[in-house]
């Protein structure tokens, strides 16, 4: 028998990573995934997969993403809701690039409530805008396993060969160019930065200086996440 309204509380440790494009959300999320057995959910990755697959959502999102604007809340929330329902998310997820608007944050609270779970920590990766264009224009990804690299800050040990999987096909994102970065930063400040206060008011916000070296930022995040997952 299903008990109306009685939800078993979830033990899932769900986390949000906030920060402008280039702050290192993807890099850090992948490291946390490995360290804590959580699943990284990047709405950017989900949308790029939808564009490649040519789905209805992908067709609608493509031009918006190329311009560096935000895809509609309706599309993004639907994509995230479907992905969160998959069994591998039951242990907890690291949300990378979602929520990006107050509407999305409120929708996320609703999705979490439906799962009997909540957001344990929202971590804001704090960086200077001026450094973001350099960070973004130098980055590339292994097409095989998705590991992220950077021409200056994180080059593979052997040029052109992925440290993780040995793959040799590297890709650069179409929206990782100087003009689009400006729009993406504008969208971040106008629509996403207010979420720092949103999570602060809920008592789950942590701030990290993400101008530091990748490993130093990872250590800070590890401390915060270790406390949040217990």
Q: DSSP string spanning 54-74?
A: T-HHHHHHHHHHHHT-PPPHH
Of 67, 21, 64, give the one whose Cα is nearest residue 42: 21
Least gap, CB of 16 to ligand AMP (angstroms): 11
Chain residues 149-188 in contact with ligand AMP, contact rule CB under 6 A: 175, 184
| Using rule CB under 6 A, residue 21 touches ligand AMP | yes
Give the CA count within 13 Å in the CB-facing half-sphere of 159. 2
d(CA 55, CA 52): 8
**Contact mark string toward ligand AMP, 103..132, x via CB under 6 A:** -x----------------------------
Using CA atoms, how far apart are residues 217 and 19, in angstroms rounded to an integer?
13
Quote the CA–CA distance of 32 and 26 in Å, as a whole number.
10
Under the criterion CB under 6 A, does residue 68 sit at the interface with ligand AMP?
yes
User: Considering the rule CB under 6 A, would residue 58 count as an interface residue with ligand AMP?
Assistant: no
> Which of these segments, 8-16, 62-70, 110-118, 138-146, binds ligand AMP (CB under 6 A)?
62-70
- Is 100 catalytic? The answer is yes
Binding mask 28-47 for ligand AMP (x = CB under 6 A): --------------xxx--x
Cβ closer to ligand AMP: 185 or 229? 185
Residue 70 vs 229, nearer CB to ligand AMP? 70
**Cα–Cα separations (whole angstroms), residue 185 to 22, 27, 97, 182:** 9, 18, 13, 5
Rule CB under 6 A: say whether 64 interacts with ligand AMP.
yes
71 binds ligand AMP (CB under 6 A): yes
Among 24, 58, 92, 97, binds ligand AMP (CB under 6 A): 97
Got the DSSP string for 153-210?
Answer: TB--SBTTB-TTT----EE--TT-SHHHHHHHHHHIIIIITHHHHHHHHTT-EEEEET
- Tell me: does residue 70 bind ligand AMP (CB under 6 A): yes
User: What residues contact residue 110 under an 8 Å CB cut-off, 6+ apart?
Assistant: none
- The reply to whether 65 sits near ligand AMP by the rule CB under 6 A is yes
Residue 95 interacts with ligand AMP (CB under 6 A)?
no
Length of the chain: 230
State the burial class of residue 81 (Cβ atoms within 10 Å of its Cβ: 0-12, 13-18, 19+).
middle
Q: Examine residue 79 and tell whether it contacts ligand AMP (CB under 6 A).
A: no
- Which residues sit at the interface with ligand AMP, rule CB under 6 A? 21, 42-44, 47, 64-65, 68-71, 76, 97-98, 100, 104, 175, 184
Active site members? 25, 100, 139, 173, 184
């Amino acid at each position: 028998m299903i008990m109306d309204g009685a939800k078993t509380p979830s033990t899932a440790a769900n986390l949000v990573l906030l920060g402008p494009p280039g702050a290192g959300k993807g890099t850090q999320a992948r490291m946390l995934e490995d360290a804590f057995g959580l699943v990284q959910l990047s709405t950017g990755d989900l949308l790029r997969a939808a564009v490649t697959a040519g789905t209805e959502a992908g067709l609608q999102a493509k031009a918006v993403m190329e311009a560096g604007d935000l895809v509609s809340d309706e599309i993004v929330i639907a994509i995230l809701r479907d992905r969160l329902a998959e069994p591998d998310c039951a242990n907890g997820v690291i949300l990378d690039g979602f929520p990006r608007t107050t509407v999305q944050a409120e929708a996320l609270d609703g999705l979490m409530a439906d799962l009997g779970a909540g957001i344990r920590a929202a971590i804001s990766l704090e960086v200077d805008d001026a450094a973001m264009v350099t960070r973004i224009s130098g980055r590339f990804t292994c097409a095989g396993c998705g590991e992220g690299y950077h021409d200056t800050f994180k080059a593979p040990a052997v040029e052109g060969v992925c440290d993780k999987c040995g793959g040799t096909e590297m890709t650069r994102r179409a929206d990782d160019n100087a003009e689009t970065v400006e729009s993406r930063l504008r969208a971040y400040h106008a629509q996403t930065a207010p979420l720092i206060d949103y999570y602060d008011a809920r008592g789950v916000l942590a701030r990290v200086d993400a101008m530091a070296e990748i490993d130093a930022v990872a250590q800070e995040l590890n401390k915060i996440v270790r406390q949040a997952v217990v």
